[in-house]
Amino acid sequence: MNKNTKIWLNYLAGGGISLLLLWSIYLQVTKQMAGIDAAAWKHTGPIVYLCICIALMFINTSLEGVKWYLLTNSVEQISYRRAFSSYLAGVAFSIITPNRIGEYPGRILYLGRKHTFRYINVSILGIIAQLWTVYIFGMAGLIYYNINFPAPIAKIALGLCILANILAALFYWRFESLLPVLEKARWLRRFAVYGKLLNRITTGKEIMVLVISIVRFTIFTAQYLILLKWMNVTVPPATGFLMAALFFWVMAVIPSIALTELGVRGEVSLFLFQHFSSNTVGVLAATMGIWMLNLIVPSIFGSILIMRMRLLKLE
């Protein structure tokens, strides 16, 4: 296959994937918009709340770009622009995969097939950092929920969450100490290889990646609370933060596809916030807003960037 043919095939494949993703996004957004009473958007608070959330969206995505830039530069030197573009492409891929598991493979695919195994290595660190952050804040939310709304299932969830936090901490900080155990079992040896690769990342970089993950979680939790206020849903700030943290934890553990998960998000948010507000339309609208800002908008830009992705090598 000559070079010109490969160029055209790359454009056709990238363009086809982009159009498919954009069409899927359009269909799902119009479907979800139809589920929200149009009158709800006419009874909102000051527009400044929405402007703050949009500004936080840019800060949030930029921080994830910085985190991915730090991780990718442990593999090879690439520009922040390219790292950020691959992040957006990953978001686009993630919306059609269960629990957004396609995000990091999408990022790696956008960057090309060179150093794929090493990119998988740093991706694991990024995934663990983000999940651990969700579980840390989720544990705080579960503690609050168990104190104020005790239930057997809530106690079980808290116990499992504590266990998950311990395991996440071990994997993040002490993975190398588990290598001898992993190497004894044949089916676990692949994880031992990943661990050896993770040893190349400095402790300072691990701390920075975790800090960025925590800051990002704080930002999109704040976004959710601001959107709730914009939709005239009254929730005490501290309580709202803990319940929002619990909401994001539940969404992380429930199997769902990002593009169609708004219905699940709506049910979870109504269940959690029914204790504080009867404004169900406002809760649903705020939930849709956070879905649009942090998933749909970045995925639209990512879908467009995929047009430039090279699936075939030109050499």
> pLDDT tens-digit profile of 102-119?
788 888 888 876 777 777
pTM (2 decimals)?
0.82
Give the pLDDT score at 314.
Answer: 44
Q: How does the average pLDDT of the chain come out, rounded?
A: 80
Give the pLDDT score at 67.
Answer: 94
**Count of positions (residues) in the chain:** 315
Given a cut of 50, whether residue 246 has pLDDT beyond it is: yes
Given a cut of 50, whether residue 251 has pLDDT beyond it is: yes
Percent of the chain clearing pLDDT 90 (strictly above): 30
Which tops the pLDDT comparison, 43 or 253?
A: 253
Identify which of 30-44, 207-221, 270-284 has the greatest average pLDDT.
Answer: 207-221
Can you tell me the mean pLDDT for 5-10?
53
pLDDT in tens, 279-304: 888 888 888 888 888 888 888 888 88
Residue that the structure tokens 């168990």 belong to: 146
Given a cut of 60, whether residue 3 has pLDDT beyond it is: no
Can you tell me the mean pLDDT for 163-187?
72
Task: Give the whole-angstrom CA distance, residue 299 versus residue 21.
Answer: 8
Can you tell me the mean pLDDT for 151-161?
93
pLDDT in tens, 12-66: 555 666 666 666 666 666 766 665 666 666 667 789 999 999 999 999 999 999 9
Task: Give the whole-angstrom CA distance, residue 118 versus residue 197.
Answer: 7
Beta carbons of 194 and 120 less than 8 angstroms apart: yes
Task: Give the whole-angstrom CA distance, residue 252 versus residue 101.
Answer: 11
Beta carbons of 132 and 210 less than 8 angstroms apart: yes
Tokens read off for 168? 């996440």
Given a cut of 60, whether residue 1 has pLDDT beyond it is: no
Could you tell me the pLDDT band of residue 187, with boundaries at 50, 70 and 90? low
Q: 235-269: buried (b, 16+ CB within 10 Å) or exposed (e) per residue?
A: beeeebbbbbbbbbbbbbbeebbbbebbebbbebb
Give the pLDDT score at 182.
Answer: 54
Give the pLDDT score at 145.
Answer: 93
- Residues whose CB falls within 8 Å of the CB of residue 238, separated by 6 or more in sequence, listed in order: none
Number of C-alpha atoms within 13 angstroms, CB side, residue 91? Answer: 26
Q: Within 10 A of 39 (CB to CB), how many other CB atoms are there?
A: 8
Given a cut of 60, whether residue 196 has pLDDT beyond it is: no
Q: Within 10 A of 172 (CB to CB), how many other CB atoms are there?
A: 18
Task: Give the whole-angstrom CA distance, residue 52 versus residue 38.
Answer: 22
- Residues whose CB falls within 8 Å of the CB of residue 175, separated by 6 or more in sequence, listed in order: 195, 198
Give the pLDDT score at 312.
Answer: 47
Give the pLDDT score at 280.
Answer: 83
Which tops the pLDDT comparison, 77 or 60?
A: 60
Beta carbons of 67 and 126 less than 8 angstroms apart: yes
Closest CA to 134 of 265, 252, 264, 257: 252
Least confident of 38-47, 64-73, 181-190, 225-234: 181-190
Mark out the alpha helices in the chain (DSSP H runs).
3-34, 47-72, 80-94, 103-111, 116-148, 152-173, 179-184, 189-198, 203-230, 237-253, 262-273, 280-291, 297-305
Task: Give the whole-angstrom CA distance, residue 103 versus residue 281.
Answer: 31
Three-state SS at 98 = strand
